[in-house]
Amino acid sequence: MAADSPENFRLTLLNPGGHDREQQFHSAPAPGEGPHPPINFHAFAASTFAAFHRDVHRALAENTPVLLLLSSDFRASERALAELKRQGRVVAVSLKETGLHQIAQQLRDPAKLSRFIKIVTQADGCVATTLEAAEIYQRVRSKHDPATVAFIPTPYPIEDQRWDFSVPRNEQSGIFVGTREWDVPSRNHFAALLVARELCEATGEPVTVVNLDGYKGRRLLGELNFPERKLRLIEKWKTYPDYLRDVARHKIVLQLDRSHVPGQVAGDALLCRIPCVGGDGAIERIAFSKTSREVRTLNEVASMASDLLKNPELREAVVAESQERARERLSFEAVRSQLAKFFAQFEEN
């Protein structure tokens, strides 16, 4: 197998001791197929028709390069790296949770920080799903070749028509609030809800919010006094395809997340073929730069969202541009090519 041949390249994902079920991606999965949808780090395995494992010996049996995920207290990851290197495997590493608030929370413990530095330094390289994580890895690996750290966004199966969840324009209405965590300050969930309420009052468009906090969440939402019958709650866990079908019925996704995350909210919007407004995740900045990176204040976000709600042609233009950018940089094919090029350098050494 030529490591730099995108059509042949395969990358095994390993989350040692993790809870996700092991999964083989012999081909691009259809919606609802398999125990885990091809999103987040599973998407790297799916885009390269490879496997997601939690057992190091099964990962070794794949006979491919490995992307080792760092989670929990990093002990299992540290042991896995040692075993993989003993067997001569090429190993890149990545934190499993890469939002800035998540990185800070994980590395505030001295023992975990020590293991993190050791692992990142000893690995062949690092794959970062955000630019901010890449900068952190670069500084930890200051004595290594900068090319051994790469920002590669999580892919989405944009090119696969089975993953096109779009619905006709006349079946779309309202605003889908993309955040749901009240207790993570950088999510800015409360501010997003305020903007959504303002838009609802001004345009009459209904608002959908995911509430998985039960009575507490309903009580918090009740304090915001949305117009009567204009607030819809999703309060039960849904399969990923069913969730996307819900999202696709809206005109826009709205968020104010400032966590510098990989960007699943925007990724969901890509699959649903609707605009994503606000947010600063990696996917937002690549695919929805005009409706995220260029709108920073609450007033700017509200103004952009209002224009999109009122103007179907503007929505279509934003969707068309986001799809073009996604095919170039975020599709399974595009990311598989980026991964193949990155890992080829280690095969040559």
Domain CATH code at residue 46: 3.40.50
**Residue 5 maps to a domain:** no
Domain count, the chain: 2
Q: Helix, strand or coil for residue 59?
A: helix
**Residue 308 maps to a domain:** yes
Same domain membership, residue 135 and residue 18: yes
Same domain membership, residue 305 and residue 190: yes
**Residue 7 maps to a domain:** no
CA atoms of 169 and 167, how far apart (whole Å): 6
**Residue 3 maps to a domain:** no
Domain limits at 186? 161-328
Same domain membership, residue 64 and residue 33: yes
Same domain membership, residue 250 and residue 239: yes
Query: pLDDT tens string for the chain (349 positions)?
Result: 344 578 899 999 999 988 888 999 999 999 999 899 999 999 999 999 999 999 999 999 999 999 999 999 999 999 999 999 999 999 999 999 999 999 999 999 999 999 999 999 999 999 999 999 999 999 999 999 999 999 999 999 999 999 999 999 999 999 999 999 999 999 999 999 999 999 999 999 999 999 999 999 999 999 999 999 999 999 999 999 999 999 999 999 999 999 999 999 999 999 999 999 999 999 999 999 999 988 889 999 999 999 999 999 999 999 999 999 999 999 999 999 999 999 999 986 6
**Residue 139 maps to a domain:** yes
**Residue 79 maps to a domain:** yes
Tokens of 173: 């209405």
Same domain membership, residue 209 and residue 122: no
Tokens of 287: 């695919």
Same domain membership, residue 239 and residue 177: yes
Q: What is the pLDDT of residue 5?
A: 73
Q: What is the pLDDT of residue 296?
A: 83
Same domain membership, residue 229 and residue 100: no
Cβ-based neighbours of 120, under 8 Å, separated by 6 or more: 93, 126, 137, 140, 141
Same domain membership, residue 250 and residue 125: no
For every residue of 224-270, DSSP letters joined together read: T-PPTT-EEEE-S---HHHHHHHHHTSSEEE----S----HHHHHHH
Same domain membership, residue 321 and residue 184: yes
Q: What is the pLDDT of residue 17?
A: 84
Same domain membership, residue 97 and residue 61: yes
Same domain membership, residue 324 and residue 224: yes
Cα dihedral 29, 23, 90, 264 in deg (nearest 10): 60
Q: Helix, strand or coil for residue 132?
A: helix
CA atoms of 84 and 243, how far apart (whole Å): 37
Specify the CATH number for the domain of residue 291: 3.40.50.2000
Same domain membership, residue 214 and residue 120: no
pTM over 0.85: yes
